[in-house]
């Protein structure tokens, strides 16, 4: 009986001491739970995508293992496929030497892979003619595809029964007559040049800096700003009568206009952007935009009828610019003392070159285009 009492006293003492230890040290910590994704590598994890991927930088998979392309095991969240583990794209999984290893081919990723013939700018198989499905567009296969086709045989929703034959002068293109799109776009370009050059011209008439609000308004008139449907050029992209002859080229065309305007401004006004009162330079800008519009109209007349450009029309435009009895440039030299027009031929060449380049940009198969 005494032995039992002694044992109980010892147990009580031990319990008391344990309680005292807990109070002094704190609660006994529980074992750490392993959680993949918590940023800490806990065995058997190799890495943790939540933060610690030092074992395989940028290669830590969602299951906290290091991804290895070529081991025939798909690393979740990191690989679409891997060698023989190719259920996502049977037989098409890209190898370790491909641009996008252990992933399925995607048309539009810029690299020819899988069963693709071309892909965006990687178009050596058919330069400039890679279709939206990453196959080379072929005029005559009844599939309107690629940047150089608006229709193809029976695929002629834009111009039923009027699609150009593969052996014709405008293969796999709709006639321009129903929409007159390229011609209308060219006129918008002419208006854009006119408006921007007027901003510079008005500033020079007053000897003040060019008003940035004027330039902005010119761009808005062309592209519509926040409301593209109200822009001269951009609204043709969404015209109710059907898809425009050329699509989605507003930004590139507007950039061409800006470059041309800036080249003319710096050519006739070497002091730009320093404000200078210069009536002669202002007048030259007016002559340039009038010539540009005139040449675009000559090209447009041929465009609408799909006939060669009339040289007489071009000659008349040139005469009004420089050499005729009422030539714009010759009038400047007559009415403003000291106004040199020795740069007339250079400005004429620049204006006509821009007009032809724009016309061919809008319709690469149009009259006068290479």
* Residue 112: burial class (beta carbons within 10 Å; 0-12, 13-18, 19+): buried
pLDDT tier for residue 75 given thresholds of 50, 70 and 90: confident
Range of the domain at 285: 181-362
Domain identity same for 188 and 64: no
pLDDT of residue 56: 87
Is 208 in the same domain as 333? Answer: yes
The verdict on 217 and 337 lying in the same domain is: yes
Residue-level pLDDT at 10:
47
What separation in angstroms does the CA of 37 have from each of 51, 69, 86? 8, 21, 26
More confident: 220 or 302: 220
Higher pLDDT, 366 or 255: 255
Q: Would you say 111 and 99 are in contact if contact means Cβ atoms under 8 Å apart?
A: yes
At 189, phi and psi to the nearest 5? -60, -45
CB 277 within 8 A of CB 294: no
Q: Using CA atoms, how far apart are residues 265 and 286, in angstroms rounded to an integer? A: 11
Q: How many whole angstroms separate alpha carbon 357 and alpha carbon 257?
A: 11
Residues 209 and 316 in one domain: yes
Whether residues 189 and 74 share a domain: the answer is no
Domain boundary among 104, 126, 156: 104
113 lies in some domain: no
Residue 253: name the closest of 351, 308, 185 by CA.
Answer: 185
212 shares a domain with 89: no
Q: And the tokens for 316?
A: 């008349």
> Do the domain assignments include residue 188?
yes
In a domain, residue 114? The reply is: no
Query: In this model, does residue 229 exceed pLDDT 80?
Result: no
Looking at the domain assignment, is residue 289 inside a domain? yes
Residue-wise pLDDT for 143-199, tens only, equals 988 677 878 999 988 778 888 888 876 788 776 543 467 788 888 999 999 999 999
**Residue 208 and residue 353 in one domain:** yes
Query: 239 pLDDT band (50/70/90 cuts)?
Result: low
- Residue 192 falls inside a structural domain: yes
Quick check: is 176 in a domain?
Answer: no
214 and 341 inside one domain: yes
Alpha carbon of 340 to those of 284, 331, 336: distances in Å? 10, 11, 9
Do the beta carbons of residue 303 and residue 363 sit within 8 Å?
Answer: yes
Confidence band of 3 (pLDDT split at 50, 70, 90): very low
Cα separation, 146 vs 135, in Å, equals 9
Same domain, 237 and 342: yes
210 in the same domain as 61: no
Residue scoring higher pLDDT (3 or 364): 364
∠ CA 264-259-223 to the nearest 5 degrees? 120
How far is it, in rounded angstroms, from Cα 145 to Cα 147? 7
Residues 187 and 90 in one domain: no
Question: Could you tell me which of 343, 192, 207, 329 has the C-alpha nearest to residue 260?
Answer: 192
Q: Using the 3D structure, point to which of 57, 82, 104 is the last residue of a domain.
A: 104
Over residues 294-337, the pLDDT tens digits come to 999 998 888 777 678 889 999 999 999 987 667 899 888 888 88
Dihedral angle of Cα 310, 311, 313, 314, to the nearest 10 degrees: 130
pTM: 0.54
The confidence band for 200, taking pLDDT boundaries of 50, 70 and 90, is: very high
CB-neighbour burial class of residue 311 (10 A; exposed 0-12, middle 13-18, buried 19+): exposed
Query: 66, 86, 104: which is the final residue of a domain?
Result: 104
In a domain, 99, yes or no: yes
Domain tally, the chain: 2
Has residue 34 been placed in a domain? no
């Amino acid at each position: 009986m005494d032995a039992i009492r002694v044992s109980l006293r010892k147990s009580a003492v031990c319990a008391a001491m344990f309680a005292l230890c807990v109070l002094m040290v704190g609660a006994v910590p529980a074992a750490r739970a392993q959680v993949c994704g918590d940023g800490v590598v806990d065995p058997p994890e190799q890495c943790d995508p939540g933060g610690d991927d030092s074992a395989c930088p940028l290669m830590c998979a969602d299951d906290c293992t290091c991804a290895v392309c070529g081991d025939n095991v798909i690393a979740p969240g990191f690989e679409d496929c891997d060698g023989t583990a190719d259920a996502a794209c049977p037989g098409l999984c890209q190898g370790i030497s491909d641009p996008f290893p252990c992933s399925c081919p995607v048309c539009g990723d810029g690299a020819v892979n899988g069963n693709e013939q071309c892909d965006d700018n990687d178009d050596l198989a058919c330069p400039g003619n890679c279709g939206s499905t990453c196959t080379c567009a072929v005029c005559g296969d009844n599939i309107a595809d690629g940047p150089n086709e608006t229709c193809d045989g029976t695929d002629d929703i834009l111009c039923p029964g009027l699609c150009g034959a593969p052996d014709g002068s405008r293969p796999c293109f709709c006639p321009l007559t129903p929409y007159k799109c390229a011609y209308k776009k060219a006129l918008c370009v002419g208006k854009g040049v006119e408006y921007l050059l007027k901003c510079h011209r008005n500033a020079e008439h007053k000897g003040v800096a060019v008003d940035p609000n004027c330039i902005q308004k010119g761009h808005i008139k062309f592209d519509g700003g926040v409301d593209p449907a109200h822009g001269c050029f951009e609204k043709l992209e969404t015209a109710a009568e059907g898809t425009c002859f050329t699509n989605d080229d507003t930004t590139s065309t507007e950039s061409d206009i800006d470059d041309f305007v800036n080249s003319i401004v710096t050519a006739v006004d070497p002091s730009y952007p320093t404000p200078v009162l210069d009536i002669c330079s202002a007048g030259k800008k007016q002559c340039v935009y009038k010539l540009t519009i005139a040449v675009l109209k000559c090209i447009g007349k041929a465009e609408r009828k799909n006939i060669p450009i009339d040289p007489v029309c071009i000659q008349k435009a040139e005469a009004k610019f420089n050499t005729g009895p009422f030539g714009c440039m010759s009038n400047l030299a007559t009415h403003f003392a000291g106004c040199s027009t020795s740069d007339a031929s250079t400005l004429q060449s620049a204006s006509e070159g821009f007009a032809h380049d724009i016309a061919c940009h809008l319709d690469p198969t149009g009259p006068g285009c290479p």
